[in-house]
Structure formats: structure tokens, C-alpha cells
């Protein structure tokens, strides 16, 4: 299993003049008209996804304000915002149909297969002209390149999975919130204690639907030293670690009765239940704090997160992230404009102190999280400088994240081939163990390997 270190370092690039160029694709998809000369001053209209919906008027207004500012600085570019967001169930069909915006956010898991399938434009020339390449986190950048080093998307965020927990629930159960579980035996013990001493609260919950069941089963497998696919994504490799993970879930569900009564959670519903105080522990990344606090009104001081529990030594935790994906049918001028928008919207705060401080001050004034821990999309040096700029406005209880931020766990990449299809195929595996007391875990894992091998074979065609 290939592992990647948490420690990141990259030199900050210098700013160069923008000139006309010819953009061509090598090894991946080709954008419409990419053999035409680029004209940075040409009038162009692009569609941009991820616009907040009307039920979030403040966020929608803030998004539009950024668009207005961008268009003022770039009068030749017109942005048409859309509320289109990534959905694992519909993404592939929309991609094939060419109905996605010029640029939008999607899961980092897609990069490997979309590059291999030639479904993305080569963004290297545009990123080089915008001096973005050297500024990006190299760990993320490696995930969006082909074998020749051509870059096809822009990574905008990284995460690694930890164990989120409700500190108030811990205290109610007589557990020390400053000493969260470090291994899966302790998770089971803590979950049982919570279920027994705090009525109506599941000691531990597991996501199982919309690809999240397979995602978290993969995470648990990593924590026990196993893997779901080999490093090259050529075959399924689930074995004892996956079986042990399912056994832990089975035992908490059927022997301890410590997982409550709900077994069909996805990311949104499990965060909502967590925020409502119905869950003691659940696997999450630190960005869960943003959702449960800002969207669902959870007490910031009650949120805790620690490193992913391990078994039999420190094996690592799953890492993934988000990226900005560009429409392969876009023209070179549209692609440059879209890359400019991403640089402005996602990265300006890391290089402009005034932008960083203004955003942090505004967010703090609106009680939005400032300084939320996580893996940055830029180099650690640049990120540390940014944190220094916004330090007076940081309002996140950083001490509640110490178990996570102090972790030395290695970062293990997601399964490389048919990632989301693999996760989807493993959802019913987790559901079966949680709904069938007599499920044969060994044969279930064997069947899962056959299914994932079929996904890999299909991807290779």
C-alpha cells in the first residue's frame, strides 16, 4: 500500500506575464478548439457551478459579490453561476452528456479514471501561464497528473479521515473528552458505555449509503493495515483487515447494541444526527465542524475530533479531497477564464493579506468558522503565513482538534480505479452486516472482491 507523508513542502512560484499560447493535450482529453491560439483579452462567458441555493441567501449573496468583484477586475469575462453541484449518482451521466458547467467542484477520486479515459482537457498551459503550478500542494497535484506530468484539474482541498465525537456526550457517559479512543477496541468500549449511560444516543454510527458505506469501510480497512485495491488499481485485495472491520461493526450492532436504530446514513444525514446530539462518535474529516456548527447549530465547544483509530500499530488513514473540474468541450479562452476564476475564488486569500484578513474578519463577525484545521491546497509554508495573517480572528476551539492535528499517521490514497463505483459496490456489504445478524462476513468479503474486480475490468476496457 503506497503511503504519503503529512509533511509537505514546495517552492512558491514567481509571477510571469500572460502571453498568447497554443494549448494542446497530451495523453488526456482535448478541449474543443485547443489547437487554436489563446487570446487572453477575448470576450468570453463561462458557467460556474457550486452557487449556493436560494435557501441560503447570505451565502448566495456572498458568492455573487465575489463574482461581481471578479468581473470588475476582468471585464472581458462574464460568469453565469449555477447551483449544479457534484452528485455521485448523476455525475457520470452529466459528464458524458456534456451538460456540466465550464468549471465546478467534484471529488478528487475521479481524477485517475477521467484522465485515463481522455475525458478532461489538459490544463497545464493555462496553469503555467497563471503561475499556479508551483503554488499547489504537491500531494494533491500528483493526483491530477498523467504519467507525462500533464495536469488536468485544479486540486482545491485535501482531507484525511478522523474520528469525530461529541464532547458533551462523552462527559454525560463519564468518559474523558480529552482522551478519545485510539484503537478500535476502545471505540467499541466507549460506544457501549455511551449507549448504556446516555439514553437515546448511539455510541457509534456508520455511514452506509450514497457511496459513503464503501468509503468508510475502505477507511477502516486502512486503519487495520489492509487495502481494497492494490496500488496500481489492477485487482481487489480485501482480506482480513476488511473482514475485521466488518466484524467490529457487527459486534457493536448485534452484541453491544451500541449503534442505535438507524443504519442508512449518508454524509449529510449523519452530520445532521450528530448535530442533534443523537450520535456519540462517527468517522469524519474536520470539515464536519463547519456543517454541524454553521448549518445545524451545534455547540462549537462540544465538537471533538481525533486521529483515525488503529489496530495492531499505526497504519494510516484515508486521504482524498476536492478539485475543480473543467468541461472538455470548452474553448481555450473559456478554460483560461475558468482557471482565472478558480485562482481568484479559491487561492487569493493565501497570497493577499488584505483578502485573507477581510474574509476572516467578515466570517468571524458572522460567527462562521475561521482557522478550521485541515490539509491545505497550497504549500505548508504559504499556509502557515496565511494562518499568521488571520490569527486574531480564529474562532475554532483548536484544542478540541489536537488529537487530529497532532497525529503522525501516514496518508493513504483512495482506491485508484473506479473509486466511486467501488464505494457504491461496498455500500450493501456494510448494510448487510448491520441488518443481518447471521451474515457470513468471510463469504461477503470474497463476493465483494469479485465485484470490485469486475469494476476494475470494466474500467480497463
Cell of 429: 456489504
Confidence of residue 142 (pLDDT cuts 50, 70, 90): confident
Q: How large is the average pLDDT for residues 228-257?
A: 97
| 66 Cβ contact list (under 8 Å, min separation 6) | 344, 345
Q: How large is the average pLDDT for residues 273-281?
A: 98
Q: What CATH code would you report for 160-316+406-460?
A: 3.40.190.10
| 276 Cβ contact list (under 8 Å, min separation 6) | 296
For residues 215 and 109, give the distance between their C-alpha atoms in angstroms, rounded to a whole number.
Answer: 11
Q: How large is the average pLDDT for residues 166-191?
A: 98
For residues 302 and 397, give the distance between their C-alpha atoms in angstroms, rounded to a whole number.
Answer: 9
Per-residue pLDDT for 303 more than 90?
yes
Per-residue pLDDT for 290 more than 90?
yes
Pick the CATH number of 44-152+320-351 from 1.10.10.60, 3.40.190.10, 2.40.50.140, 3.20.20.140: 3.40.190.10
Top mean pLDDT of 110-119, 348-357, 367-376 is at 348-357
How does strand 77-81 pair with strand 281-284?
unpaired
For residues 430 and 444, give the distance between their C-alpha atoms in angstroms, rounded to a whole number.
Answer: 10
Per-residue pLDDT for 387 more than 50?
yes
For residues 157 and 162, give the distance between their C-alpha atoms in angstroms, rounded to a whole number.
Answer: 16
Per-residue pLDDT for 263 more than 90?
yes
Q: Taking the domains of the chain in order of start, what are their residue ranges?
A: 44-152+320-351, 160-316+406-460
Is residue 372 helix, strand or coil? coil
Confidence of residue 109 (pLDDT cuts 50, 70, 90): confident
* pTM, entire model: 0.80
- The answer to whether residues 141 and 152 touch, using CB atoms and an 8 Å cutoff, is no
For residues 204 and 90, give the distance between their C-alpha atoms in angstroms, rounded to a whole number.
Answer: 30
Confidence of residue 26 (pLDDT cuts 50, 70, 90): very low
**Would you say the CATH fold of 160-316+406-460 matches that of 44-152+320-351?**
yes
Identify the pLDDT of residue 10.
26
pLDDT, tens digit, 9 for 90 and up, residues 183-228: 999 999 999 999 999 999 999 999 999 999 999 999 999 999 999 9
pLDDT, tens digit, 9 for 90 and up, residues 48-79: 999 999 998 988 998 999 999 999 999 999 99
Backbone dihedral angles phi then psi of residue 80, each to the nearest 5 degrees: -110, 105
**% of the chain residues with pLDDT over 90:** 72
Segment holding 164, helix H or strand E: strand 162-166
Identify the pLDDT of residue 12.
26
Question: How crowded is residue 425: how many other Cβ atoms within 10 Å of its Cβ?
Answer: 21
How does strand 44-48 pair with strand 77-81?
parallel
Cell of 310: 488503529
Confidence of residue 135 (pLDDT cuts 50, 70, 90): confident
- What's CA 323's distance to the chain center, in Å? 9
Per-residue pLDDT for 8 more than 60?
no
For residues 302 and 400, give the distance between their C-alpha atoms in angstroms, rounded to a whole number.
Answer: 8
**% of the chain residues with pLDDT over 70:** 92
Q: Identify the residue with better confidence: 27 or 340.
A: 340
Where on the phi/psi map is residue 59: left (φ > 0), alpha (ψ -120 to 50), or beta? alpha
Confidence of residue 36 (pLDDT cuts 50, 70, 90): low
For residues 226 and 241, give the distance between their C-alpha atoms in angstroms, rounded to a whole number.
Answer: 5
For residues 302 and 316, give the distance between their C-alpha atoms in angstroms, rounded to a whole number.
Answer: 26
Per-residue pLDDT for 152 more than 60?
yes
| 13 Cβ contact list (under 8 Å, min separation 6) | 131, 132, 133, 134, 135
Identify the pLDDT of residue 198.
98
Q: How large is the average pLDDT for residues 1-11?
A: 33
Amino acid at each position: 500500500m503506497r503511503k504519503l507523508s503529512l509533511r509537505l513542502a514546495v517552492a512558491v512560484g514567481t509571477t510571469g506575464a500572460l502571453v498568447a499560447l497554443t494549448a494542446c493535450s497530451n495523453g488526456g482529453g482535448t478541449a474543443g478548439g485547443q489547437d487554436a491560439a489563446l487570446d487572453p483579452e477575448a470576450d468570453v462567458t463561462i458557467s460556474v457551478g457550486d452557487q449556493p441555493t436560494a435557501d441560503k441567501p447570505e451565502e448566495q449573496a456572498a458568492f455573487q459579490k465575489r463574482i461581481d468583484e471578479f468581473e470588475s477586475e476582468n471585464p472581458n469575462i462574464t460568469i453565469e453561476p449555477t447551483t449544479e453541484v457534484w452528485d455521485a449518482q448523476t455525475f457520470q451521466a452529466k459528464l458524458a452528456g456534456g451538460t456540466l458547467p465550464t468549471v465546478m467542484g467534484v471529488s478528487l477520486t475521479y481524477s485517475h479514471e477521467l484522465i485515463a479515459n481522455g475525458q478532461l482537457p489538459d490544463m497545464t498551459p493555462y496553469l503555467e501561464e497563471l503561475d499556479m503550478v508551483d503554488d499547489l500542494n504537491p500531494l494533491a497535484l500528483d493526483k491530477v497528473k498523467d504519467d507525462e506530468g500533464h495536469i488536468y484539474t485544479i486540486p482545491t482541498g485535501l482531507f484525511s479521515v478522523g474520528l469525530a465525537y461529541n464532547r458533551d456526550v462523552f462527559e454525560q457517559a463519564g468518559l474523558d473528552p480529552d482522551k478519545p479512543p485510539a484503537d478500535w477496541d476502545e471505540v467499541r468500549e466507549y460506544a457501549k458505555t455511551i449507549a448504556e449511560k446516555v439514553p437515546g444516543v448511539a455510541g457509534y454510527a456508520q455511514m452506509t449509503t450514497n457511496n459513503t458505506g464503501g468509503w468508510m469501510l475502505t477507511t477502516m480497512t486502512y486503519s487495520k493495515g489492509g487495502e481494497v485495491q492494490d496500488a496500481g488499481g489492477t485487482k481487489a485485495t480485501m482480506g482480513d483487515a476488511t473482514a475485521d472491520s466488518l466484524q467490529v461493526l457487527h459486534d457493536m450492532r448485534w452484541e453491544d447494541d451500541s449503534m442505535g436504530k438507524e443504519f442508512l446514513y449518508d454524509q449529510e444525514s449523519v452530520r445532521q444526527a450528530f448535530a442533534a446530539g443523537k450520535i456519540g462518535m462517527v468517522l469524519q474529516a474536520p470539515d464536519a465542524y463547519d456543517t454541524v456548527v454553521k448549518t445545524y447549530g451545534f455547540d462549537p465547544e462540544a465538537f471533538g475530533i481525533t486521529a483515525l483509530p488503529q489496530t495492531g500499530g499505526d497504519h494510516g488513514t484515508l486521504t482524498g479531497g476536492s478539485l475543480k473540474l473543467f468541461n472538455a468541450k470548452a474553448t481555450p479562452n473559456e478554460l483560461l477564464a475558468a482557471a482565472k476564476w478558480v485562482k481568484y475564488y479559491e487561492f487569493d486569500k493565501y497570497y493577499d493579506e488584505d483578502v485573507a484578513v477581510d474574509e476572516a474578519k467578515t466570517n468571524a463577525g458572522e460567527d462562521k468558522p475561521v482557522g478550521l484545521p485541515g490539509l491545505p491546497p497550497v504549500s505548508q509554508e504559504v499556509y502557515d503565513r496565511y494562518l499568521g495573517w488571520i490569527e486574531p480572528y480564529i474562532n475554532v476551539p483548536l484544542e478540541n482538534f489536537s488529537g487530529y492535528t497532532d497525529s503522525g499517521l501516514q496518508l493513504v490514497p483512495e482506491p485508484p480505479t473506479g473509486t466511486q463505483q467501488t464505494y457504491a459496490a461496498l455500500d450493501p456489504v456494510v448494510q448487510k452486516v448491520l441488518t443481518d445478524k447471521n451474515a457470513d462476513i468471510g463469504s461477503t468479503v470474497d463476493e465483494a472482491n469479485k465485484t470490485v474486480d469486475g469494476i476494475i475490468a470494466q474500467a480497463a476496457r
